[in-house]
Structure 1
Amino acid sequence: MMDIRIFIGMPLRYAKSVLKEKDIPFTVEETKSRSHFFKCNEQSIYVIRATYVNEQIHFLVNYSLEVSNDVCNVLRDRNGDYEEPIF
């Protein structure tokens, strides 16, 4: 049996190509961020959870989050330098 932990954090497009190449069935469920501090990049979908469900791999995916302009403004110090957020 495949160690599905390898898919966590992987771009969905790549994860799907790996499973299709090996002819392994899978399903995809999308989750939405409720954060007001970050915006979603709908071109960058990645796997946040991988489980076995009904003899197939099930991916829970989300869009990559990007810092909003409001957050950038809050993180600027008095000198105008930007402090990179720590994730």
Structure 2
Amino acid sequence: MSGIKPPFTAATALQKVKAAQNLWNTRDPASVVQAYALDTIWRNRDQFIRRGRDEAAAFLTKKWTYEGDYRLRKEFFAFTDNKIAV
């Protein structure tokens, strides 16, 4: 995604959060899913995406079709050397 990898500092954790937010707000499913593991698992409200990037990309395509004004805003809460809470 942004090349920012652990260990994180407060500054690099915030940069990573902003990079993720900016990527999501491109609304380009093919680009967004590249930031996730091949076997990624997501939950969106009552829906679970369990089949990796392809299913995630299909989900995002559908989501952004009916949520035309969708904008993700990530808030940075905390970090450790290898994890970020948003």
**Bigger fraction of residues in helix:** 2
Pair member with larger Rg = 1
Fold in common (TM above 0.5): no
Which structure carries more relative contact order (alpha carbon 8 Å, separation 6+)? 2
TM-score class, shorter: under 0.3
TM-score (norm 2): 0.25
TM-score (norm 1): 0.25
